[in-house]
């Protein structure tokens, strides 16, 4: 990252700027998975997102922080962010999504789309875009931004899509294994699923008053116990994706950025992105 950009971010947040980790150690991956690695880099969309951190000003951020403290008593974090119009997220740019997924597509489903900031980057890849959200306030925000939104985890059975994105939803799902199976069944023949998983794996179903609950379905122990990015990515593929009939086309690493920090500063998580297809001839 440019020194001036890091300096500006540090000044805006009053804390250490994000590391923006993209590198993957191929030597720590199984050979077949190592061959799928695509290394991305910070591009203009990420720089613009970071440059805008703290742009609302200190007073506005202080007011929102105070309201958040009060409202957290009766709202979960997702609903809270929707009401306060904060917590905008960035995962990847349109150009990066196109490099990972291909396209153009006819129909794209963005699962757990939040406020639509990430959807906006994905939308140019498809003619039609549909979102899902389980948070009514977030669903309202999506519709305000012009995105059709189903107020549910997924649309009803029977719908098919040639592209699906499910970014950083798996670790918040009550039933992550069921969610993956349903995503697989919603892919049209030859369709692609872009799935983002925060590593290391730390699932937490959000509740009110800051309470988090464990999911009702547990992932394999190898995923839960993995320490490094490479260990977790390998375990996800070998213990989860492949047994469910998925084939990995691309693995990459991106910083998952959100404006949830003090005074609008950037918070960063480590994100593994996988482009998956369904194995030919697979029968559930």
The answer to whether the Cα torsion of 41, 43, 46, 50 is positive or negative is positive
Of 259, 233, 252, the residue nearest 90 (C-alpha)? 259
pLDDT digits (tens, 9 = 90+) for 191-204: 999 999 999 999 98
Helix, strand, coil percentages for the chain (3-state, nearest 5): 40, 25, 35
Rounded mean pLDDT of the chain? 85
Give SS3 for 156.
Answer: coil
CA distance 141 to 162: 25
Q: How confident is the model at residue 9 (pLDDT cuts 50, 70, 90)?
A: very low
Of 96, 95, 69, the residue nearest 80 (C-alpha)? 69
pLDDT of residue 198: 95
Structure tokens at 233: 């990515």
Q: State mean pLDDT over 152-173.
A: 94
How much is the CA Rg of the chain, to the nearest whole Å?
Answer: 18
How many helices (H) and strands (E) the chain has is answered by 11, 10
**Structural domains present in the chain:** 3-277 (3.40.50.150)
Q: State mean pLDDT over 1-20.
A: 48
Whether the bond between 200 and the residue before it is cis, its omega within 30 degrees of 0, is yes
- Asked whether residue 3 carries a pLDDT value surpassing 50, the answer given is no
- Asked whether residue 82 carries a pLDDT value surpassing 70, the answer given is no
pLDDT digits (tens, 9 = 90+) for 109-138: 999 998 899 999 999 999 999 999 998 888
% the chain with pLDDT above 70? 78
Torsion angle defined by CA atoms of residues 82, 86, 91 and 97, in that order, rounded to the nearest 10 degrees: 60
Minimum mean pLDDT range among 60-64, 140-144, 266-270: 60-64
Of 263, 206, 209, the residue nearest 69 (C-alpha)? 209
Q: How confident is the model at residue 88 (pLDDT cuts 50, 70, 90)?
A: confident
Query: CB-based contacts of 73: which residues, under 8 Å, 6+ apart?
Result: 208, 209
Structure tokens at 70: 């009060």
Provide the 8-state DSSP code for 133. -
CA distance 116 to 61: 21
pLDDT digits (tens, 9 = 90+) for 23-45: 999 999 999 999 999 999 999 99
- Asked whether residue 58 carries a pLDDT value surpassing 90, the answer given is no
Q: How confident is the model at residue 263 (pLDDT cuts 50, 70, 90)?
A: low
Minimum mean pLDDT range among 16-20, 71-75, 144-148: 71-75
Residues in a beta bridge with 275: 194, 250
Check residues 15 and 187 and name the one with the higher pLDDT.
Answer: 187
- If phi > 0 it is left, if psi is from -120 to 50 it is alpha, else beta; for residue 222 that is alpha
Structure tokens at 172: 């918040």
- Asked whether residue 20 carries a pLDDT value surpassing 50, the answer given is yes
CA distance 166 to 186: 12
CA distance 78 to 208: 10
% the chain with pLDDT above 90? 65
pTM (predicted TM-score)? 0.85
- Asked whether residue 84 carries a pLDDT value surpassing 90, the answer given is no
Whether the bond between 104 and the residue before it is cis, its omega within 30 degrees of 0, is yes
């Amino acid at each position: 990252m440019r020194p001036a950009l890091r300096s500006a971010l540090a000044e805006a947040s009053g804390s250490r700027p994000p590391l923006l980790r993209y590198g993957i150690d191929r030597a720590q991956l199984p050979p077949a998975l190592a061959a799928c690695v695509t290394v991305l880099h910070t591009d203009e969309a990420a720089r613009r997102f970071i440059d805008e951190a703290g742009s609302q000003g200190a007073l506005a951020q202080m007011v929102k922080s105070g309201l958040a403290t009060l409202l957290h008593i009766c709202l979960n974090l997702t609903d809270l962010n929707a009401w306060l119009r904060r917590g905008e997220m960035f995962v990847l740019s349109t150009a990066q999504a196109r490099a990972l997924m291909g396209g153009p597509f006819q129909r794209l489903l963005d699962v757990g789309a939040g406020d639509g900031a990430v959807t906006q980057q994905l939308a140019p890849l498809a003619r039609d875009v549909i979102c899902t959200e389980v948070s009514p306030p977030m669903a309202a925000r999506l519709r305000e931004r012009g995105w059709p939104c189903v107020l549910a985890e997924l649309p009803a059975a029977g719908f098919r899509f040639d592209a699906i994105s499910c970014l950083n939803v798996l670790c918040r799902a009550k039933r992550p294994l069921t969610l993956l199976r349903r995503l697989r069944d919603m892919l049209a023949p030859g369709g692609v699923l872009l799935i983002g998983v925060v590593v290391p794996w730390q699932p937490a179903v959000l509740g009110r008053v800051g309470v988090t609950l464990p999911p009702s379905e547990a992932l394999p122990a190898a995923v839960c116990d993995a320490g490094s990015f490479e260990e977790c990515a390998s375990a996800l593929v070998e213990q989860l994706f492949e047994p469910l009939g998925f084939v990995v086309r691309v693995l990459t690493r991106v910083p998952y950025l959100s404006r949830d920090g003090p005074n609008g500063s950037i918070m960063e998580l480590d994100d593994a992105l996988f482009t998956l297809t369904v194995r030919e001839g697979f029968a559930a």
